[in-house]
């Protein structure tokens, strides 16, 4: 049976049915509709005011690639300027290749790029060093907990470095729905309330953050990259298989099979929770060590680094964090911990990086702390 004609232009052959609406569109009309929807999200939510200097969190993966491409197309209409900010977590065999993809994109799109690294920002700690420090503790899954907190801080530092007024990240609707499920499963009401909505307004001196793709499904993000012929990095982080997010993702797939609207339903549920007065998190204060936003004496990043520097990395996670106060002051210099060690095993490689069938997940945890 021949493909129907595009429901928008009426002339070209339809190349896809939109997952959400079932509308048959050609590739060109689909991309135009996708960009118009992102524009609407930004304008309706007043996310990026005219004149904003926007730091785009760039990982080289599909979401940040699509976000940077769409915002670059919309920048003249929005009257914003863009600066790519990439974070080098120090993950051998994974991040180097992803950063190479970001560098190619920056050169191709003529966008300025700044790379900040965990090692420089956090006293020599890389994710590989954190993984070695937590290995054998029975809590190796905590890698992504450390990484998520540190990355949020690193992106903030990078954005300030380039004089940005706003930060945008590429989280899509599926990422958001997974985060909602994870926070429910952990019983974390505060995070559930904070993670909903379009972003954060920049409380406590932090830069405002938003997620312009937060209503776009993962399928449509991949379709947009396909029809715009965008090249992105699609290998999975070596630590991703350990992440709790994988379970939330599997659960979401089951829910979506039974109820196709499950992803957006979860996203909207979180938005409503974020608006509910009773769900408002306690008014944040400032970290006594670095001055960043914190709901306790130390912000999450300082608490995690404190635990790492004491050789007690798990103290800073969950209930163990309470124990930090009883510990003697840190005496080991941070640089002592990240001793060189054999590189972790290479990540699973995908034979067809930019094929629609390729694994399109690069980082398993980006959103769970509202990065
Ligand atoms: Fe960091 Fe993402 Fe890798 Fe977890 S999966 S360690 S959050 S890059
Ligand atoms: Zn068309």
Q: Is 54 helix (H, G, I), strand (E, B) or coil?
A: strand
- Parallel, antiparallel, or unpaired for β 81-88 and 113-117? parallel
Cα of 242 from ligand 1 centre, angstroms = 9
Backbone angles phi, psi at 78, to 5 degrees: -85, -15
Q: What is the DSSP letter of 169?
A: -
State pLDDT tens for residues 181-211.
Answer: 988 888 887 777 776 666 677 667 889 999 9
Question: Is the Cβ atom of 240 under 6 angstroms away from ligand 1?
Answer: yes
Cα of 155 from ligand 1 centre, angstroms = 14
Give the pLDDT score at 331: 33
Structure tokens at 371: 């990065």
Question: Is the Cβ atom of 363 under 6 angstroms away from ligand 1?
Answer: yes
Question: Is the Cβ atom of 149 under 6 angstroms away from ligand 1?
Answer: no
Instruction: Say how many C-beta atoms besides its own lie within 10 A of residue 165's C-beta.
Output: 17
Among 364, 366, 368, 371, say which to mutate for ligand 1: greatest number of ligand atoms within 8 Å of CB: 364
Cα of 61 from ligand 2 centre, angstroms = 27
Task: Find the ligand nearest to 26 CA.
Answer: 2
Question: Is the Cβ atom of 144 under 6 angstroms away from ligand 1?
Answer: yes
Question: Is the Cβ atom of 147 under 6 angstroms away from ligand 1?
Answer: yes
Q: Whose CA is nearest to atom 1 of ligand 1?
A: 147
Question: What are the start-end ranges of the E strands in 185-330?
Answer: 199-200, 209-210, 285-286, 293-294
Q: Whose CA is nearest to atom 4 of ligand 1?
A: 144
Judge whether 321 and 294 are in contact, CB under 8 Å.
Answer: no
Torsion sign, CA atoms 338, 344, 348, 354: positive
Please identify every residue whose CB atom is under 5 Å from ligand 2, which is an ion: 6, 8-9, 12, 26, 29
How is 271-313 classified by DSSP, letter by letter? HHHHH-GGGPPPPPEE-TTT--EESSSS-HHHHHHHHHHTT-G
Q: Whose CA is nearest to atom 8 of ligand 1?
A: 363
Question: Is the Cβ atom of 125 under 6 angstroms away from ligand 1?
Answer: no
Question: Is the Cβ atom of 369 under 6 angstroms away from ligand 1?
Answer: no
Atom of ligand 1 nearest to the CA of 144: 4
Atom of ligand 1 nearest to the CA of 148: 7
Cα of 15 from ligand 2 centre, angstroms = 9
Among 95, 146, 366, say which to mutate for ligand 1: greatest number of ligand atoms within 8 Å of CB: 366
Question: Is the Cβ atom of 148 under 6 angstroms away from ligand 1?
Answer: yes
Query: Exposed, middle or buried by CB within 10 Å (0-12, 13-18, 19+), for 36?
Result: exposed
Task: Find the ligand nearest to 95 CA.
Answer: 1
Buried b vs exposed e over 309-320: b needs ≥16 C-beta within 10 Å?
bbebbbbbbeee
State pLDDT tens for residues 129-177.
Answer: 999 888 765 444 578 888 999 999 999 999 999 999 999 999 999 999 9
Backbone angles phi, psi at 303, to 5 degrees: -65, -40
Judge whether 288 and 298 are in contact, CB under 8 Å.
Answer: yes
Q: Is 139 helix (H, G, I), strand (E, B) or coil?
A: coil
pTM of the model: 0.80
Q: What is the pLDDT along the chain (371 residues), one digit of tens a residue?
A: 677 999 999 999 999 999 778 899 999 999 999 999 999 999 999 999 999 999 999 999 999 999 999 999 999 999 999 999 999 999 998 989 999 999 999 999 999 999 999 999 999 999 999 998 887 654 445 788 889 999 999 999 999 999 999 999 999 999 999 999 988 888 887 777 776 666 677 667 889 999 999 999 999 999 999 999 999 999 888 888 777 888 899 999 999 999 988 999 998 888 887 666 555 555 668 888 888 878 778 888 888 888 888 887 766 665 444 444 434 333 333 444 455 444 444 433 333 333 333 334 456 554 433 34
- Whole-angstrom distance, CA of residue 160 vs CA of residue 206: 10
Cα of 122 from ligand 1 centre, angstroms = 16
Structure tokens at 129: 């060093």
């Amino acid at each position: 049976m021949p493909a129907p004609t595009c429901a928008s232009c009426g002339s070209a052959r339809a190349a896809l049915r939109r997952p959400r609406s079932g509308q048959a569109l050609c590739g060109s009309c689909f991309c135009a509709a996708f960009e118009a929807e992102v524009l609407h999200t930004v304008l309706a939510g007043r996310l990026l005011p005219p004149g904003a200097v926007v730091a785009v969190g760039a990982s080289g993966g599909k979401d940040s690639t699509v976000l940077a491409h769409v915002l670059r197309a919309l920048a003249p209409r929005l009257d914003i300027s863009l600066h790519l900010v990439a974070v080098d977590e120090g993950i051998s065999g994974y991040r180097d290749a992803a950063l190479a993809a970001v560098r190619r994109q920056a050169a191709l799109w003529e966008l300025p790029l700044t790379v900040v690294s965990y090692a420089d920002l956090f006293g020599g700690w890389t994710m590989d060093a954190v993984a070695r420090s937590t290995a054998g503790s029975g809590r190796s899954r905590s890698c992504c907990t450390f990484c998520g907190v540190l990355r949020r801080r690193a992106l903030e530092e990078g954005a300030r470095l380039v004089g940005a007024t706003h930060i945008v990240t590429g989280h899509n609707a599926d990422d958001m729905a997974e985060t909602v499920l994870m926070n429910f499963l952990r019983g974390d009401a505060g995070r559930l309330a904070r993670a909903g909505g379009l972003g954060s307004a920049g409380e406590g001196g932090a830069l405002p953050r938003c997620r312009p793709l937060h209503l776009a499904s993962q399928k449509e993000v991949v379709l947009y990259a396909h029809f715009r012929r965008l090249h992105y990095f699609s290998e999975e982080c070596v630590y991703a298989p350990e992440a709790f997010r994988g379970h939330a993702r599997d659960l979401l797939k089951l829910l979506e099979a039974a109820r196709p609207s499950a992803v957006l339903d979860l996203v909207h549920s979180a938005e409503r929770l974020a608006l509910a007065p009773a769900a408002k998190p306690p008014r944040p204060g400032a970290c006594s060590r670095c001055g960043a936003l914190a709901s306790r004496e130390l912000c999450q990043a300082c608490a995690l680094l404190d635990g790492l520097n004491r050789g007690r990395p798990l103290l800073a996670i969950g209930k163990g964090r309470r124990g930090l106060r009883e510990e003697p002051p840190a005496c080991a210099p941070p640089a002592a911990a990240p001793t060189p060690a054999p590189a972790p095993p290479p990540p699973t490689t995908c034979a067809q990086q930019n094929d629609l069938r390729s694994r399109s997940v690069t980082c398993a945890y980006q959103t769970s702390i509202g990065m």
